[in-house]
Amino acid sequence: MNDQLPGRHLPKSQSFAERALATFQQFLHVEAISGIVLLVAAAAALLWANSPLAHSYRDVWSQPIPLRLGAFAFERSLHFWINDALMTVFFLVVGMEIRREIHEGALSKFDQAILPVLAALGGVVVPALIYLSLNAGAGPDQGWAIPTATDIAFAVGVLALLGKSIHGNVRVFLLALAIIDDTIAVLIIALFYTSGLDPSGFAVAALGVVMALGFQRLGFGSAYAYIVPAFVVWTGFLVAGVHPTLAGVVLGLITPVRSPSPEIAPPVIRVETALHPWVAYAIMPVFALANAGVSFKGMELSSGTQFVTLGVALALCAGKPVGVIGVTWLAVRSGWCRLAPGVSWGGICLIGLLAGIGFTMSIFIAMLAFADTNLLDAAKLGVLLGSLISVTLGLGFGAEFAQRQRNEIED
């Protein structure tokens, strides 16, 4: 993690710019490949949950896994350790992405950030309204936030399949939109899916944050030194009643973005670069394997659950494009914003379609929204259907759009 990056003899500004570009390109490469891995894991979960060995699917993830520290014993299911502990690393990378984008990326300047921010807000509000219009009951309406998130890995992976004829700024816009989506999803989880808050837990979490900041001040460069503060923050959130994975976001947001030496990449880049492949190729596929296994055997979509499935699916594949494209058009038409060079309205339409791929974060929110198994399975089915339709529409439109781009270049 202390390896030096190319550019040690370049001027500081040029070295910094090249390092940021290299990080961005590596991020896109990892996300593109991980989208395929994620798809394979989701397909495997569905096959497993609907095979003759379906009974073992639930049994495996419900196996109790104890954590013992001396006389202290803490026992939870394997499903808990994946969703509430392992996914904390996923949220840590999300927090670092947000921190880096605020410092030097798409969120660093108002004029650059405002258009993807407005587009992301449209892609949150419209799907939520579509879902609520179909699920006005006291129970199902808790799932309004499920279709508001975009899966970065899937969306970028599909975009990568369309080839290099898609302008780079279209990729930047999609990535910024997805990161802002993640930011909004994190805020939604913190504000709307927490209950019975215990102030003592926040005190413990604050102690962990102070420890992490203190280690930074003392110059602790090894990531391993921050395992203890991270565990303290995670435990504090768990005790407080806030979903403990949000500890990762907090720690990511306080990761330093400046390096003590211009020849060494900042901690936020070094740690994110080290963790990103693990998240993309291991943590997210394991999460998909543990949570995407919806059993169709004996599934009965009653009048309540069928609208959950329909609401989620329709909100993703229709609400997301309408929200993203519509708000972008309004912002540009009103003169508040303008499209970046190389980003046409065809590119915006492609982004809107791909924004409907909500897989990972949508399933995660669904598990927070519904304790009822029938509602949860219906929501997961809606996520799978809506994301599949969005992938199909995105690939279909994207292939035609990419061909037009190639023709324009040749002409």
Confidence band of 1 (pLDDT split at 50, 70, 90): very low
- Give the closest residue to 382 by CA, choosing from 318, 286, 324: 318
Confidence band of 153 (pLDDT split at 50, 70, 90): confident
- State residue 294's pLDDT score: 78
- State residue 175's pLDDT score: 79
pLDDT digits (tens, 9 = 90+) for 34-59: 777 888 888 899 899 889 988 898 89
Q: How far apart are CA 288 and CA 343, in angstroms?
A: 33
- State residue 31's pLDDT score: 62
Tokens 């599949």 belong to 388
- State residue 213's pLDDT score: 93
Extract the tokens encoding 212.
């992490």
pLDDT digits (tens, 9 = 90+) for 360-409: 889 889 988 898 888 888 999 999 999 999 999 999 999 899 888 777 76
Instruction: Provide the pairing of β-strand 64-69 with 72-77.
Output: antiparallel
Confidence band of 24 (pLDDT split at 50, 70, 90): low
Q: To the nearest whole number, what is the mean pLDDT of the chain?
A: 83
- State residue 174's pLDDT score: 86
Domains in the chain: ranges and CATH:
12-65+74-193+243-410 (1.20.1530.10)
- State residue 379's pLDDT score: 92
Cα 34 versus chain centre, distance: 13
pLDDT digits (tens, 9 = 90+) for 336-358: 888 888 889 999 999 999 999 98
pLDDT digits (tens, 9 = 90+) for 107-119: 666 766 788 889 9
pLDDT at 132 over 90: yes
Residues 6+ apart with CB under 8 A from 169: 340, 341, 342, 343, 347
pLDDT at 8 over 50: no
- Crossing angle for the helix pair 152-161 and 373-410, nearest 10 degrees? 30
Residues 6+ apart with CB under 8 A from 400: none
pLDDT at 125 over 90: yes
Confidence band of 313 (pLDDT split at 50, 70, 90): very high
The whole-model pTM stands at 0.74
pLDDT digits (tens, 9 = 90+) for 90-105: 889 888 887 887 777 6
pLDDT at 30 over 60: yes
- State residue 18's pLDDT score: 56
- Give the closest residue to 389 by CA, choosing from 344, 347, 355, 346: 355
What is the C-alpha end-to-end distance of the chain, expressed in Å?
A: 47
- State residue 288's pLDDT score: 85
